[in-house]
Structure 1
Amino acid sequence: MKGSPYRHVFLHAVLMSYIGIILFPLLWVLNSSFKTNKEIITSPWSLPERLSLSNYWNAWTGAHVGHYFTNSLVISVISALTTVLLGTATAYALTRMDFPRVSKLFQRILMLALLVPAGSLLIPLYMLLRGMHLYNTPLALILPYVTIGLPLTVFIFSAFLKSISSELEEAGIMDGLSIYGLLWRVIIPITIPSLVTVFMLHFLSNWNEFMMANLFLAKEKFRTLPVSMVAFYDQLNMNYGSLCAAIMFSVIPVVLIYFILQKRIIESIRS
């Protein structure tokens, strides 16, 4: 029966099982980050004998996680914000301004860009960044991240803007707002839930990206956290507790940002 309580119990049981499977590795790493090497090897499933932040301190200072963490955070935030701002402005121009042929041409170009795998762009981007003297600089990641994320952002906001009535903009024009005033004072406030969701999408993608970060940033001082995680095993001298602490540092920003912005994300999903 469709409304049977057993059906709801079964669905909730399946959902809770799925959540448990997803969270188990994260909880195990969190638990191990407070243990010593001896505890992790002899009793990997038990709770730590005492809570200590020594592993986190060792990872943050000894393995220079703090430096790589800052690099990843700056690059990911700047790239995501730039992508959202440029995508919003581009989508607004394509959907609201009367350039039918140009708009269709740009939409087709963006659609073709969505079909191009990011991996196929590595060699051309490498040569381009070398020629522009941007190799081994933060812009070597920021510019490709923005470029790759822009087509999807434009399509998402174009679909959202088409559902918004133009009466609000007409009222803004009557009040003397310019095109930029309409965008910042009318469109942006309405689309904040979608802006937050797209920002989270690009931030997660940029934060976890490895291939371009490994290829375009050879200097250690510019390396991001995902690239540095590969070398942590040797840097931490088989210190599994500190290695787990370093992994937690890569997870903490994502969890914090989600909890801070979860209200906006839920509003975007409901709308």
Structure 2
Amino acid sequence: MRGSLLRRVFPHAVLLIYIGVILFPLVWTLNSSFKTNKEIITSPWSFPTELSLSNYWNAWTGAHVGHYFMNSVINSTVSAIVSLALGTATAYALTRMSFPKLSLVLKRILILALLVPAASLLVPLYMLLRNMHLYNTPLALILPYVTVGLPWTVFMVSSFLTSIPNELEEAGIMDGLSIYGLLCRIIVPISLPSLFTVFMLNFLTSWNEFIMANLFLTKEKLRTLPVSMVAFYDQLNMNYGSLCAAIMISMIPVVVMYLLLQRGIMENIKA
């Protein structure tokens, strides 16, 4: 009896401990974002004496987090949309059109692209952006993000498109749809759960990226939110409360996007 009870309780206990370890930094950061700098230093584990949004206001205006936030939103959204559009079109061509030799060559190129670490591309990308006069422009981040995200986007979408029966497209052809009509009116609506997942992963990858954003954008007005965190201490004189508030602000798009797309993500995982 005890052994049976232990087998039932132990996995749940381990899971609860794991959840606690994962959530602890988030809860501590959220709690500290409402405390003063003195409270964080003297009593880091206590609750704030009063709930104040001053740290959020200081971070949003004093440290220009609002401006950096919008830069990250624009860069991440545009790069995710472009990667998804190009990747979906490429995946459709590879899975539905008959180009035996060309398809094989493209697949091998995409596989090789997946094997190349992004860090090894920093120097050639830097030189290329310099020569194309794109350095310190929004395209200096958007184009590399699209390039890095395109290969695995193609493979993820392709794996879902192969499960769609050809009879649906044959019916569309009978109704007079062109290739673009088949893609936009049949394939894309059916593939929305998969596309939601791919879009979110592309967005999060671009949102959290630091090295390229720090190297390719040196102008302060173009700086993204992850890069701005590095200079946060100097701007706010080690104001830990405002720093924690800025961290919580940076999590807003991630949480909102997951809440909006969670049904599509779960359906894609089950599939």
Question: Which residue of structure 2 lines up, in the alignment, with residue 116 of structure 1?
Answer: 116
Matches of residues 109-258 of structure 1 in structure 2 within 5 Å?
Answer: 109-258=109-258
Deviations 1:7-52 (A, max 9, x none): 3422222122111111100110000000011111121111111111
Distance between the aligned counterparts of 1:5 and 1:192, measured in 2?
A: 43
Residue 162 of structure 1 aligns to which amino acid in structure 2? Answer: T
Question: Which residue of structure 2 lines up, in the alignment, with residue 59 of structure 1?
Answer: 59
Superposed displacement of residue 255, structure 1: 1.0
Superposed displacement of residue 5, structure 1: 5.4
What's the secondary structure of 2:164's corresponding residue? coil
Superposed displacement of residue 54, structure 1: 0.3
Distance between the aligned counterparts of 1:138 and 1:9, measured in 2?
A: 52
Question: Which residue of structure 2 lines up, in the alignment, with residue 92 of structure 1?
Answer: 92
Distance between the aligned counterparts of 1:7 and 1:161, measured in 2?
A: 41
Deviations 1:131-161 (A, max 9, x none): 1110000100000000110000111111111
TM-score relative to the length of structure 2: 0.97
Distance between the aligned counterparts of 1:5 and 1:150, measured in 2?
A: 49
Superposed displacement of residue 269, structure 1: 0.6
Question: Which residue of structure 1 lines up, in the alignment, with residue 260 of structure 2?
Answer: 260
Distance between the aligned counterparts of 2:106 and 2:11, measured in 1?
A: 44
Superposed displacement of residue 6, structure 1: 3.7
Between 1:13-22 and 1:126-135, the stretch displaced more is 13-22
Matches of residues 70-81 of structure 1 in structure 2 within 5 Å?
Answer: 70-81=70-81
Q: Classify 1:58/1:171 alpha carbon distance in 2 versus 1 (closer, same or farther; 3 Å).
A: same
What's the secondary structure of 2:181's corresponding residue? helix
Between 1:39-48 and 1:138-147, the stretch displaced more is 39-48
Distance between the aligned counterparts of 1:149 and 1:123, measured in 2?
A: 18
TM-score relative to the length of structure 1: 0.97
What's the secondary structure of 2:50's corresponding residue? coil
Residue 154 of structure 1 aligns to which amino acid in structure 2? Answer: V
Distance between the aligned counterparts of 2:9 and 2:153, measured in 1?
A: 38
Residue 195 of structure 2 aligns to which amino acid in structure 1? Answer: L
Between 1:37-46 and 1:136-145, the stretch displaced more is 37-46
Distance between the aligned counterparts of 1:9 and 1:103, measured in 2?
A: 52
Question: Which residue of structure 2 lines up, in the alignment, with residue 10 of structure 1?
Answer: 10
Superposed displacement of residue 239, structure 1: 1.2
Residue 131 of structure 1 aligns to which amino acid in structure 2? Answer: N
Distance between the aligned counterparts of 2:114 and 2:219, measured in 1?
A: 30
Q: Classify 1:269/1:8 alpha carbon distance in 2 versus 1 (closer, same or farther; 3 Å).
A: farther
Distance between the aligned counterparts of 2:82 and 2:16, measured in 1?
A: 37
Distance between the aligned counterparts of 1:41 and 1:113, measured in 2?
A: 47
Residue 223 of structure 1 aligns to which amino acid in structure 2? Answer: R
Distance between the aligned counterparts of 1:8 and 1:109, measured in 2?
A: 49
% same residue: 75
Superposed displacement of residue 253, structure 1: 1.2
Distance between the aligned counterparts of 1:165 and 1:6, measured in 2?
A: 47
Superposed displacement of residue 261, structure 1: 0.9
Deviations 1:166-209 (A, max 9, x none): 01111111111111111111111111111111111111110010
Task: Give the aligned length.
Answer: 270
Superposed displacement of residue 251, structure 1: 1.2
Distance between the aligned counterparts of 1:111 and 1:154, measured in 2?
A: 10
Residue 103 of structure 1 aligns to which amino acid in structure 2? Answer: S
